[in-house]
Structure 1
Amino acid sequence: MQKDKFSSGRIAVSDEFQEVFSHFYFAENNSDITFTKKLLPSYQTIMIFSFGESAYIHSEGDENIEVEKCIVLGPIKKAFDYSQPAGNTILVANFKDDAFYRFFGSAALAENLPIDPNDLMSENCFTALWHKLNGIENKEEQVECILEFCRPYLRKRNPVTGQLIELKNTAYNPIKKVADETKQSERAIQLTHKKQLGYSAKEINRYLRFLKAIEMMQDIACRTSKNDWFEIVGECGYYDQSQLINDFKYYINLTPARYLKLQCSICNPVG
């Protein structure tokens, strides 16, 4: 079967890079057909290396964006479709928290629009990196090559950003808490958050609520054929089922029930 000739997986990183990359993802299409999947939002910036035949990203405006060698997207705030034709392989670096800012000095890239990473640096080094990776067959060795390439460019983490990251899943209002602790205005902390992480605290709180809903739905679906929507609404902090549905349509343009039916064709970068 053609599906048996499509392989994908995740590659973990060493402790040295745990706060830089969440993981690397690879997908290889050795079949005779094109595979199209939907990538869920992750609020991470990603760098995609494409080998063999070009991969394609399908934007909201029905534009097909060719991924010939290497592009940057993010932070990924809404789902999008991507296609891998026969003979294509992708390797995706998933930058964690402020890591992209620490490499390139900016996290506020155009959402879901590709950028050539060479345009972010003064030298055409990513084209050279792609050619080096293209000569390596083993995926783990490719990842090691990327990590080695990254070492000289990585800056130290801003202490304020470190506090915001630590509080991301624990504090109701991390902006106010960090502002009080650092004796800075809330506005200044908000600007730091947006500049170095690529999104506001309000945006990430809404996304984390949506992510919790997805995780609960999948957990319930493993135990029973019927979802308890009222349980999900209550546990995740939604006002009602309508607000839950609105979030699903906003992030992935699907209803919750439709999402469950299409899980096999959806790539969850944080799942």
Structure 2
Amino acid sequence: MKVHRHIPTYPLSDFIQHIVYVSGSLSTPYIKELPEGGINLVIELNENTLNTVYPEINTDCKKEVKNAWISGMQKQAILYKNNPNSTIISIRFTVGGFFSLTKIPITVLDNAGVEAEAVFGSSFMRLYEKLLNATALADRFALIENYFLQYSVEENMGYHIVRFINQHIDKPIDWLIQKSGYSQKHVIHLLKTYTGFSPKYLQRVHRLQQVITEIQKNKTHIDWFSIIHRYGYFDQAHLIKDFAYFTGLKPMEYLRSQLVLDENELVPEMILQFPNDNPDAK
């Protein structure tokens, strides 16, 4: 598997966290995308390839997607069937960055696997054709940046507040509201408008990402007791329950996924599932 990560130049970097190119087959049949609080635009570069997404944890529901689709509004991890014929570019927006840049209401992204053309219109399909015709990866990254630079890249006050809250999301909610200079009702409204989520949910997602980073950095010598207390869990049961809610896995199951497959290190927000994890068999 080949993975290339590209960080957009300023000012687009204020709205897009990174652009990742992934090609090559994996031995695992399923890939899980973890929630991060930001929108993810996935572009399939093999035009006739269908991809299967399972929008919810532990469900029989599945959806076929092709060309390009959007995820990120789901509150839990989503599952993809690993397609050996797939070559993708994944565009991860910052928390609140998608709405601030495009002004497209978050409410239209209420399901995983929303077709990008339905969201962006015909201009996106013109971009898609250019991406298919481009041969150099650098040219593809440049095409994507130029496409999103057509939108206004000036920060507004609402996004400034959302960015401030996200940068300090580990602080108490009362502190965040006081520092914002706005009422609690207005802050919650801003977060819902820009991210689709409440401050409490964003705090839980941030804590999940901190735990995931901790596991990735200390795979062979994890101090679970330290993690529980450092990140504000009541006890081991609280950690397990919260982790499983978002990922569908217990922390030890996630750790095993990291130890078994080196490829997990390449795209941290993804989990490569074990071969015997088959949602179609449920």
Q: TM-score range by the shorter chain?
A: 0.7 to 0.9
1:114 aligns with 2:110: no
Alignment of 1:13-24 (within 5 A): 13-24=8-19
1:9-42: per-residue Cα shift (whole Å, max 9, x none)? Answer: 31222233211111111211268x7853222222
Aligned position for 2:250: 255
Aligned position for 2:279: none
Give the TM-score of the pair, scaled to structure 1.
Answer: 0.85
Aligned position for 1:163: 161
Partner amino acid, structure 2, of 1:206: R
SS in 2 for 1:128: helix
Structure 1 residue ranges, 4+ long, deviating more than 6 angstroms after superposition: none
SS in 2 for 1:14: coil
Kindly, what percent of the aligned residue pairs are identical? 21
Aligned position for 1:268: 268
Structure 1 Cα separation of the partners of residues 178 and 41 of structure 2: 32
SS in 1 for 2:172: coil
Superposition RMSD in Å: 2.5
Contact 1:27 1:89 in 2 (8 A): yes
Structure 1 Cα separation of the partners of residues 117 and 85 of structure 2: 25
Contact 1:190 1:201 in 2 (8 A): yes
Q: Measure how far apart 1:259 and its partner are.
A: 0.5
State the aligned residue count: 258
SS in 2 for 1:262: helix
Q: Measure how far apart 1:76 and its partner are.
A: 4.7
Alignment of 1:11-50 (within 5 A): 11-29=6-24, 35-50=29-44
Partner amino acid, structure 2, of 1:246: K
Q: Which protein, 1 or 2, shows the higher relative CO under an 8 Å CA cutoff with sep ≥ 6?
A: 2
Structure 2 Cα separation of the partners of residues 220 and 30 of structure 1: 27
Aligned position for 1:105: 104
Extract unaligned runs of 5+ from structure 2. Answer: 272-282
Say if 1:29 and 1:36 are closer, same or farther in 2 by CA, change over 3 A: farther
Aligned position for 1:134: 132
1:83-138: per-residue Cα shift (whole Å, max 9, x none)? Answer: 342332111111112221020332244455222233234x4111121111001122
Aligned position for 1:176: 177
SS in 1 for 2:197: coil
Structure 2 Cα separation of the partners of residues 36 and 137 of structure 1: 28
Q: Measure how far apart 1:219 and its partner are.
A: 2.7
Q: Measure how far apart 1:220 and its partner are.
A: 2.8
Q: Measure how far apart 1:205 and its partner are.
A: 0.7
Q: Measure how far apart 1:194 and its partner are.
A: 0.9
Say if 1:130 and 1:230 are closer, same or farther in 2 by CA, change over 3 A: same
Alignment of 1:50-65 (within 5 A): 50-52=44-46, 53-60=49-56, 61-65=59-63
SS in 2 for 1:129: helix
Structure 1 Cα separation of the partners of residues 236 and 116 of structure 2: 41
SS in 2 for 1:127: helix
Alignment of 1:135-214 (within 5 A): 135-170=133-168, 171-173=171-173, 175-178=176-179, 181=181, 184-214=182-212
